[in-house]
Chain A
Amino acid sequence: MPPYDPIVRKRAAAIGFLLILAALAAAAMAITEFSVTRGLASVPKAVLWGFSNFYPDQAALEKLPDILDKLLDTVLMSVAAATVASVFAFVFALFGSRTTMASGMFARLARGVATLFRNIDVAAWAMILLFSFGQSDLTGYFALFFFSFGFLTRAFIETIDEVSGSSVEALRATGAGFVPIVVHSVIPSALPLMLSWLLFTIETNIRSATLVGILTGTGIGFAFNLYYKSLNYHAASLVVLVIVAAILLIEAVSNHVRRVIL
């Protein structure tokens, strides 16, 4: 073998990586006593069970108004959390963005707060807030709010830096003050992208709200949990279908809005 052949080295590295991966998988299966063959064998049975139990029947359809009511709760909560969070996120983004920041210390503080709120998952927020608010709508609302706030602050900072940097420089050179610069340069140039991020957050919130609802006993997540635990699989499957339909609908609406504003 020549002393240095990049192709041979690359191939050796790839084989080594695959071997390590296989060893890890084998070790994990040995520890958890997981058998691949039995796992695969149970798939057809699971599918069969799903088709024979997990579909909405006549009795389940009678519960539809209740389920839709809960769904509306969840959707409204997601929208409210995202929109209110976007207002706070915009203010923090103005302080955190390199383009508009007032001072380096404030910028680091704003970015730090955003990172903290963003990196704690919605489910974790829900569990933390359960201590303060118990199983109520407020718990779910604040869990979604905190996560949306952290995420949107980050997204808005990037948007402002990317879209309005050059025109902010021009307006600063004319002697304009901070507020007029924000109103006449940052907002007009960054608004469409920021709205797009807001729509994205609303979509994610609706997905997360279902999970949060199971934890906090509210909204559509609660409905699913209730039916599922009382072995009413027909109603539970209807809840799942309703959630999927709602998510598809909202995605279609927000895609349409995006096309119009961008």
Chain B
Amino acid sequence: MTALLEIRELSKFYGNVEALKDVSFSVRRGEFVSIIGPSGAGKSTLLRCVNRMVEASRGEIIFDGIRVLELGRKELRKLRTRIGMIFQHYNLVNRLTVIENVLHGRLGYKSAIAGALGLFREEEKAQAIGILEKLGLKDQMYKRSDQLSGGQKQRVGIARALVQNPKLLLCDEPIASLDPNASRIIMDHLKDISVTMGITVLVNLHQVEVALKYSDRVIGVSSGRIVYDGPPKELTAEQIHRIYGTDEGGLITDMGGRYAAV
């Protein structure tokens, strides 16, 4: 398997504050990678640098053979159509129906006029309905998005990303606002997407145990630096404490079925 995404010595400054410091890693096609770390460690910034929702200050990003940081406005839009994004707060247009929100994922492929008029082809609509069916939301298709539960809203967010036919899914804290059951459903869907559709998934997580359970690989970020990059099995309690900058016993987490403070 070859690398779909390669990040080299990426840095990001907000004024004088360095949010990311020489971050380098690569993600193979079809891989499910979790980024863990404390709040404010730079996880969101890192994710947003990939599709340039945040402009990196230094470094290089190569996605599918394309140098992302050198793209002009038009090519950037084209690149973004190949990268789906999922947000903590779902970022749906609440007053529109579910199916309308899902079809928004196709707007990147349209000209200004076709996009503005909402001219979607029959295949596109069929694809959107198919994805909603797969995510168990077909019955909610014509409901307004603000009538859905949090878990359902996040599934609409996933559907909107999938209808783009992306090669990569960027998920920014997808389960941080959800209850445990809805969280499990969302993570199961993301894992399923990665396994059955071969889409690469890069996900920011707060919950260490979720990262360990679902990921092929875990990246630990602390104060803008990568402090761990490897398979979940090799992640020790000691390394987790290094990521979160805490002492033994200072964390509530679950390592392999042991619910305890480690």
- List A residues at the B interface (Cβ < 8 Å): 164, 166-167, 169-185, 188-189, 192
Contact = CB atoms under 8 A, between A and B. Distances in A.
B91 A169 contact: yes
B160 A183 contact: no
Nearest to A170: B91
Nearest to B81: A175
B92 interface: yes
Nearest to A190: B95
Given A166-B87, A170-B104, A184-B118, A189 B77 contact: no
A177 B84 CA distance: 16
B235 to A, nearest CB: 30
Interface string B56-100: 000000000000000000001111110111010101111110001
B95 A174 contact: no
A140 to B, nearest CB: 36
B8 to A, nearest CB: 23
Contacts of A192: 95
B187 interface: no
Interface in B142-176: 157, 160-161, 164, 170
Contacts of A181: 107
Q: Which residue, of A170, A176, A188, has the highest number of chain B Cβ atoms within 10 A? A: A170
A106 B160 CA distance: 32
Given A173-B83, A174-B164, A180-B115, 7 more contacts: A170-B104, A173-B80, A174-B84, A174-B108, A176-B107, A177-B107, A180-B107
Contacts of B84: 174
A94 to B, nearest CB: 14
Contact of A169 (B53, B95, B96): B53
Contact of B78 (A172, A173, A175): A175
Contacts of B113: 179
Nearest to A173: B85
A174 B104 contact: yes
B80 A167 contact: no
A185 B118 CA distance: 12
Contact of B104 (A166, A171, A189): A171
B95 to A, nearest CB: 5
Contact of A185 (B51, B80, B93, B105): B93
* Size category of the binding interface on chain B: 35 or more
A185 B53 CA distance: 17
Contact of A174 (B92, B94, B100, B160): B160
A169 B170 CA distance: 14
The 4 closest A-B pairs by CB, nearest first: A175-B108, A180-B115, A175-B80, A176-B107
Given A174-B164, A185-B93, A169 B87 contact: yes
Nearest to B145: A167
B61 to A, nearest CB: 15
A174 B107 contact: yes
Given A173-B85, A174-B104, A179 B112 contact: yes
A178 B77 CA distance: 11
B53 A175 contact: no
B116 interface: yes
Contacts of B78: 175
Contact of A166 (B79, B89, B107, B161): B89
A98 to B, nearest CB: 14
B116 A180 contact: yes
Nearest to B79: A175
B110 interface: yes
